[in-house]
Amino acid sequence: MARNPRYDILFDPVRIGPVTARNRFYAVPHASGMTNAMPRMRAAFREGKAEGGWGVVCTGYVSIDPGSDDAPLPYATLWDDDDVRSHALMTEAVHRHGALAGIELWHGGGCVMNRLSRTPSVSPSGTAWMPTHVSYIGNQRPRVMQHEDIRDVLEAQKHAARRARSAGFDILYVYAGMGYLPYEFLLPEWNHRTDAYGGCLANRVRFVRELLEVTHEAAGGQCAVALRISLEELRARPSEHAASEAHEVVQRLADLPDLWDVKMDSETSDCAPSRFAPEGSHEPVIAFVKSLTHKPVVGVGRFTSPDAMVGQIRRGVLDLIGAARPSIADPFLPRKIDEGREEDIRECIGCNICISSWHDGVPVRCTQNPTIGEEWRRQWHPERVPPAPHGGTTVLVVGGGPAGLECALTLGRRGYEVTLAEAADELGGRLRFETRLPGLAAWSRVLDWRRSQLQRLANVSVYRGNRLGADDICELQPAHVVLATGSRWMPLLYSPLEVPAGTLDSPDVYTPDDVAAGVALEDPVVVFDFDNYYMGSAVAEHLARSGRIVRYVTPSGYVSAWAVMTNEQPQTYRALSAAGVELHTLSRVESFSSSELTLVNTFTSARTRLACRSLVIVGARLPNDALYHMLTAKHEERTAAGIVSVTRVGDALAPGAIAHAVYGGHRYARELETGDSGRIVRRDVPLRSMSAPETARHA
């Protein structure tokens, strides 16, 4: 198909200093969980974006010096020649497809603990980042930077930029955002200096200017120099010389960078989940930058709509459409727009599972795109699947939720004859309810994309309102049976050993399944959440906004404790407060009787009483696997019916996040009859200099 002419502007080349991007699609720097220890995985991951049409593809954050050590979080390094070779794999891969390669050179300053190097970190005035969440808390404080320390960092930036140039990068970054060292010089909370680097904003911006100057020097006119800067906090601060301190910073630096990469100040606002922030939410903060510089500007906003992209360009907000999460959900997004296939875009749902991967220290994962991170080690391509080896064997998929839909779609793309049977009248599984919860409507994209793709496959038949039993399946005589029958929430209590234990049997005890079914609840309602992800808080907010008096109880110290991994926690607190939900942390439900709960403190075992007429327990889920056990018990009938295999996928095998269900369905479908099932995946290893001495081995 031909490209829609109204999107032509997205494919204009853009000059960035001495280099030119082939179009306006810019895959901005973002962590991938793939460090120098995984150079081949990292290169293949970035290559997928270049193949998919992104004009610029950038690395994640890359340390310029051992004094900037973010362990155990997965950061990359550019400290020596081995690192140069490691990164060159990525630039070569990106260049093969005509894209530019950018590198985010980084010094963490007072935001890193140098846990691995055990070297005190530095910050402008010895100020430390003092976060409240345990995964970020450390007990090593930075030391005050002396003038020689400033010179050392400038030298480290210059040497790293030279290495980056030799590794083949086209765009070299100065990173003055997200609380890291150059950003720390800009804010008086961090910067208490009284010398030429502190005090007035003209002084506070000096370090950033010098970093840009030494990077230009190292670039030698061959590479562009980009400034990535957070302006959210500065935008809110008055200035005597401009509309805000953000305006003044941009005015003072103006045309010194070849590119402005503008972002917010914290993970929770810069990468806000769709539950709390719409597409293009950065615009109110960053829209002014282009009016103050002649250099191109890139920014993000979880862009998935080409119309939204064109709108920002035509309104003069951005020159380049930046993306991290959308480029993960669909590395081929630009190519699909170019080919007039907008309906094929696998849109990011903004769940932030990708961000949780970085917190976990593992290669990136995605709810929408199960192939991400598997490009090298499993040889999975996001747009291509291996053909069925036997020319269309029949497969029955039972269950039309996320796992079943992904499984049926991938099997269909491979050429199998697929029947998808869903017991309900509507496809979607768990998402039929979850997408109706506050803020989760965008998650319907998981269903919408797969349903629309399935409709094009003549070899896939979908039957709704068909509840199959074991005998029914044997009568259908498929070669393979895939059970994607989901899971169910259980009314279990939470043990002092931190495991679900003991069913709470009472007519006034419910689970999210009951809420989904529309059960009538009596006030006051208590939501007891030890699932620790989004469901407990979303159900509580849903009930409160429907008029119920709601109290939220959790044994954790935080509401939705795991949601800190997906940047949801701060906004979750705000949403529950706005809905009038009363919060009780560090408490577990011990018993429920006579309209009263007994709560026990997690640490002290002190007991309190809480009025309650309806208790909703959001804790443990168990697989809906009765059909699996009935079917596997019918060995003779299955053999007679020619059924070769019966397999569970998704929550029917092991309840998890939607990303786990989609991945499980995809993996089964991709590996069926290939011999890859159960195969040990390829293991990546760091690149080493041939002359590096072998480490002595101890007996």
3-state secondary structure of 678: coil
| Neighbouring C-beta atoms of residue 582, cutoff 10 Å | 16
What is the residue-wise DSSP string for 517-584? TT---PSSEEEEE-S-SHHHHHHHHHHHHTT--EEEE-SSSSTTGGGGGGT-HHHHHHHHHHTT-EEE
Closest CA to 549 of 527, 518, 517, 519: 527
Strands 620-623 and 525-529: unpaired
Distance CA 300, CA 16 (A): 18
- Active-site residue 628, yes or no? no
Q: Residue 358's Cα: distance from chain center in Å?
A: 8
Burial of 576 (0-12, 13-18, 19+ CB in 10 A): buried
Question: Taking a C-beta distance cutoff of 8 angstroms, is the pair 346, 294 a contact?
Answer: no
* Conformational region of residue 361, where left means phi above 0, alpha means psi within -120 to 50, and beta covers everything else: left
Residue 633, classed as helix, strand or coil, is helix
Q: In what order do the strands lie in the sheet with 614-618?
A: 509-510, 614-618, 525-529, 550-553, 582-584
Write the single-letter amino acid at 460: V
Structure tokens at 333: 């997004």
Q: Which amino acid is at 230?
A: S
Task: Give the burial string for 404-432 (b: 16+ CB within 10 Å, else e).
Answer: bbbbbbbbbbbbbbbbbbbbeeebbbbbb
Nearest to 101 by CA among 42, 38, 46: 46
Could you give the count of Cα atoms lying within 13 Å of 241 in the half-sphere of its Cβ?
11
Rounded Cα distance, 530 and 490, in Å: 12
Q: Is 418 helix (H, G, I), strand (E, B) or coil?
A: strand
* Phi, psi of 267, rounded to the nearest 5 degrees: -60, -40
Is the CB of residue 365 less than 8 Å from the CB of residue 353? yes
Chain centre distance of CA 570: 17
Q: Residues 6 or more apart from 193 whose CB is under 8 A from it?
A: 124, 125, 199, 203
Query: Exposed, middle or buried, 146 (CB in 10 Å: 0-12/13-18/19+)?
Result: exposed
Rounded to the nearest angstrom, the gap between the alpha carbon of residue 305 and the centroid of all alpha carbons in its chain is 19
Cα 331 to Cα 324: distance, rounded to the nearest angstrom:
10
- Burial (CB count <10 Å: 0-12, 13-18, 19+), residue 366: buried
Q: Position 564: which residue type?
A: V
Max CA separation in the chain (angstroms): 86
- Among the listed residues 26, 61, 173, 180, the single catalytic one is 180
Query: In whole angstroms, what is the distance from residue 298 CA to residue 317 CA?
Result: 9
Which bin fits 19, alpha (ψ -120 to 50), beta or left (φ > 0)? beta
Phi, psi of 562, deg, nearest 5 = -70, -20
What is the Cα–Cα distance from 105 to 65, expressed in whole angstroms?
10
Residue 629, classified by CB atoms within 10 Å of its CB into exposed (0-12), middle (13-18) or buried (19+), is exposed
- Contact between 348 and 304 (Cβ < 8 Å): yes
* Per-residue 3-state assignment (H helix, E strand, C coil) for 343-381: HHCCCCCCCCHHHHHHHHCCCCCCCCCCCCCCCCCCCCC
**Catalytic residue positions?**
180
